[in-house]
Amino acid sequence: MGWLCALPIPGVVITRALAVISKLKEQPLYVFPSARETIQFEYDIADTSLEIEIGEKSVEFLSVEGNVTDEWVSSDINDLFRVIDEFHSKAKIL
């Protein structure tokens, strides 16, 4: 058992997260392991936040803007880059 009685982060998740973070234009504010065998990236700008959990086979997204929350899952790691770019583009407009 690992942190908070969670299973250790699988090596493939760590490898995916390292590959992703090295290619990002905008680095996350926070990067940390989760208790769900994922690695989470977090971005915050004003009252808008974006949380991304990288797992073995999927990427989970949580977007919060004011009182509006949106969650979705993708099996395509490339969606992560698009979502982060859109988040920062939108934040620059605000």
Reduce the secondary structure of 41-87 to three states and give it as a string. Answer: EEEEECCEEEEEEECCCCEEEEEEECCEEEEEEECCCHHHHHHHHHH
Report the domain count for the chain. Answer: 1
**Model confidence over 24-74: pLDDT tens digits?**
988 999 999 998 899 999 999 988 999 999 999 999 999 999 899 999 999
Provide the residue range defining the domain that includes 29: 3-93
Q: Is 93 exposed, middle or buried (0-12, 13-18, 19+ CB in 10 A)?
A: exposed
Q: Whole-model pTM above 0.85?
A: yes
The confidence score (pLDDT) of residue 89 equals 87
The confidence score (pLDDT) of residue 54 equals 97
User: Rg of the chain over CA atoms, in angstroms?
Assistant: 13
